[in-house]
Amino acid sequence: MKFTKLIPATLCLTLIASPALATNGAQEQLKASLTQASKAEKLPNAKSVVVFGGSESVVLTDNPRWVIKGQLYDMWQNTEINSKSQLHDAAKKIPIQTINVNTTDVVDIRVNPEKSEVLTVFLDPFLEHSANEMYLLNKYAADYQVRYIFTAMSQSNIKPFFSFACETQTLSTDQVIEKVVDKQFAYGKRKCREVQVMNSFGLTQFLHIKESPTLIAPNDVFHVGMPTELLGWLRKNTK
């Protein structure tokens, strides 16, 4: 199955609906529907909570009248989620290499493309700290292929991002890096590569990435912001 549009969801659920349960509190309602139930857990980046029990899961939406029973799936990794620990492990990962959505037709560059282990970095080039972060990543992650997916983390940076996409369309990787590190932005009004710009922005929203930089290690574990020990974090999360 190939997504034709980016949809703002963290976990897609394949579940079977059931009647509403008693109204003596959300967690109690959930536990009452299962013979053995875990503590209610908030679904990552969602307004729902889930309780695991036996062979099924129960999801309570933001309206406690509506309860869903069945099997919880992580559609990004194409795996069943049957426990609190599995949910927490899944929430740590963004499978950027295998997720079933367009991650290629975006505004990006690859540093050290000959390396096999890929570190993906979502970066807003217009933020004040981005220049130093790109410099540090290129210096200390030299044993990795560093893929920068450029994006806009705020509404105010969307128009400059269109201009950036035009400026960098015919530039080499080294020239793009120089622009970001030295903050050589023209801030023109031209628009080109519009599809790639909107795909970059849409992918950022789809993955619920809200801070620049967000790093995705070779084993799909992600980190919001720069790790305190970049090399240690990379070694720990290399395949």
List pLDDT tens digits, range 165-186.
999 999 999 999 999 999 988 7
Token pair 């530039």 is found at 171
Distance (Å, rounded) from C-alpha 163 to C-alpha 182?
16
Band (pLDDT 50/70/90 cuts) for residue 25 is: low
Is the model's pTM score more than 0.95?
no
* Residue 128 token pair: 């004040």
Band (pLDDT 50/70/90 cuts) for residue 37 is: low
- Contact present, 57 and 81 (Cβ < 8 Å): yes
Band (pLDDT 50/70/90 cuts) for residue 29 is: low
- Contact present, 33 and 58 (Cβ < 8 Å): yes
Task: Give the DSSP H/E element, type plus range, for residue 103.
Answer: none
pLDDT digits over 104-139, tens only? Answer: 999 999 999 999 999 999 999 999 999 999 999 999
Backbone angles phi, psi at 137, to 5 degrees: -65, -45
Token pair 């789809």 is found at 206
- Contact present, 121 and 149 (Cβ < 8 Å): yes
Q: Could you list the beta-strand ranges (E) of the chain.
A: 14-17, 41-42, 49-53, 56-60, 67-74, 79-81, 108-111, 118-123, 145-150, 214-216, 222-224
- pLDDT of residue 33 exceeding 70, the answer is no
pLDDT at 54: 67
The closest alpha carbon to 218, from 196, 198, 236, 195, belongs to 236
4-26 average pLDDT score: 37
